[in-house]
Structure 1
Amino acid sequence: MKLLRHGPLGHEKPGALDADGNARDLSLLVPDWTPEWLAPEKLGALAAIDLGRLPLVPAGTRLGVPVAGIRQFVAIGLNYRKHAQEAGLEIPQEPVVFTKALTSLAGPDDDVRLPPGSEAGDWEIELGFVIGTTARGVSQDDALSHVAGYCLTNDVSERDWQIKRGGQWGKGKSFDGFGPVGPWLVTADELPDPQNIPLELKVNEQVRQRSNTADMIFPVARIVSYLSQFMTLLPGDLVITGTPEGVGLGMKPAPVFLRRGDVMVLDAGPLGTQRQKVL
């Protein structure tokens, strides 16, 4: 299934895409896509529903973050070799881990507002995944069984705050709206191989990033297993897995950063598309 949430900010309702790609409202059957609804047995039962008999979501309705009740927003850095190279950093031997504030979460097409005085706003297309069952000390072989599904994300960053304000990356990545997610969550049964997803990001119709998750240094299974060795991953937790080369900070001969009026468009094949205007 492709799970989504639709409606105004703070008042989203659960939905899903039908076989024809139409958004259907599931609010008569499900209170919301909260962590307990991500359990395999519940998702399995919902898969039997004839979505075509449920109400259509009106065209143009805002989409929100596809999962409610996210408790941890974890991010992996430098997970593509060419991105590490363009940043002038060594290829990591273990996953680089940081967190983003939950208040940075946003819908896939919500506007991105740069903080006052920002001169170094940047883009980062990424594969995200959501945990479905508690993962604690799991093996790499068993890791993917704990994933409920996958989604497209944009790890929006403010590089001055990230790099020049004391070395904690989360400072530059936690502003409100700096974590667009969606448009939907593709359940793991529908996407058994997360290491073959195309990624493309455009700014003002110019391609800036184009890659594939096959190029990740640490695949999803390795990330889940690694994180679970030192932190418990809970149902509903969101993990984003790093960005490929092509970020504004790495542009030559000089960095290119986001400005008011810019439009970012992200595409990840089965994970859908996002569009954000910069304010």
Structure 2
Amino acid sequence: MKRGRVAFSGAIHEAYPDPKGVRLADGRICMEEEVVWLAPIEPNTIFALGLNYAEHAKELQFSKQEEPLVFLKGPGSVIGHRAVTRRPNGVEYMHYECELAVVIGREGKGILRENAMEYVAGYTVANDYAIRDYLENYYRPNLRVKNRDGGTVLGPWFVDAKDVPDVTQLELRTYVNGKVTQHGNTRDLVTDIPGLIEYLSSFMTLSPGDVILTGTPEGIVNVNVGDEVVCEIEGVGSLINTIASDADFNRA
């Protein structure tokens, strides 16, 4: 099942796909543009993986790390489908990162990889923007890179794990203004989902609502004010986002 969360007519609703747009839990049908999309789940701890696709690491001229490269993100960084993300004045290189987001459904620590998928509730699409100007290095990006307000887009749907029959073979694509700029497949993850869950749970407890952003494939390009960015993952969804300026946010 696919389900999302939207704000409409002064209330927050669970929503479902419908041929005419979205169906609210009370049965009303709305156009996608009539509602305000929220992240499909309320995230707890958000883990962001860096350089978890070999070709992307090569694209950035980075050699393989010995263990997963993980950063934490605050909940204020998250926005929903069809929202806008700010490109600050004066930055030279801001890029999207299309990622499969794994949502944890059970508490666990010391999880073995052979049991790891039992702890997955489902999946959604993430677009985790980065501003390369702010990057200190790939081991230690500063807070402005990974925790900017509105820099992490999630949605539109949360998809139950049982409805994604083979998460190891999903196509990822990113479109900028309708042109394909990024293409990858989850079979190329350096550390796969069971490996990530085993690694993270080896030193901390994973909890329901935790989100693991599994990394982005090669094909990042600079995006500018006014660009429409669509991140698409086979069987999970198509996530739309637009880049806005400081002026759009009433900033000088």
Instruction: Tell me the TM-score normalised to structure 2 length.
Output: 0.89
RMSD across aligned C-alpha pairs, in angstroms? 2.2
Match of 2:22 in 1: 23
Give the C-alpha shift of residue 206 in structure 1.
2.1
**Matched residue type, 1:55:** G
Residue of structure 2 in register with 1:12 after alignment: 12
User: Partners of 1:273 and 1:194 in 2: how far apart?
Assistant: 16
Matched position secondary structure for 2:196: helix
SS in 2 for 1:112: strand
Determine which of 130, 133, 141 is the counterpart of 1:157: 130
The alignment partner of 2:23 has SS state of: strand
Q: Distance in 1 between matches of 2:11 and 2:125?
A: 22
* Identity across the alignment (%): 33
Distance 1:200 1:130 in 2: 20
Name the counterpart of 1:141: 114
Task: Give the alignment partner of residue 30 of structure 2, picking from 45, 58, 62.
Answer: 58
* Conserved? CA contact 1:63–1:109, under 8 Å: yes
- Show structure 2 runs of 5+ residues with no match: 245-252
Task: Say which structure is richer in strand.
Answer: 2
Describe how 1:19-168 pairs up with structure 2 within 5 A: 23-26=22-25, 54-60=26-32, 61-68=35-42, 70-163=43-136, 167-168=140-141
Distance 1:147 1:164, change over 3 A: closer
| Unmatched 5+ stretches in structure 1 | 27-53, 249-256
Where 1:270 maps in the other structure, the secondary structure is: coil
The number of aligned residues is 242
Aligned partners of 1:232 and 1:150: how far apart in 2? 20
Tell me if the contact between 1:22 and 1:56 (Cα under 8 Å) persists in the aligned partners.
Answer: no
* Distance in 2, Cα, partners of 1:175 & 1:3: 26
Letter in structure 1 aligned against 2:148: F
Look up the equivalent residue of 1:62 and give its one-letter code: V
- Name the residue aligned to 1:204: 177
Provide the secondary structure at the position in 2 that maps to 1:149: strand
Partner of 1:238: 211
Q: Deviations over 1:175-218 (max 9, x none)?
A: 11111001101101111421111100011222211111111111
Displacement of 1:276: 1.3
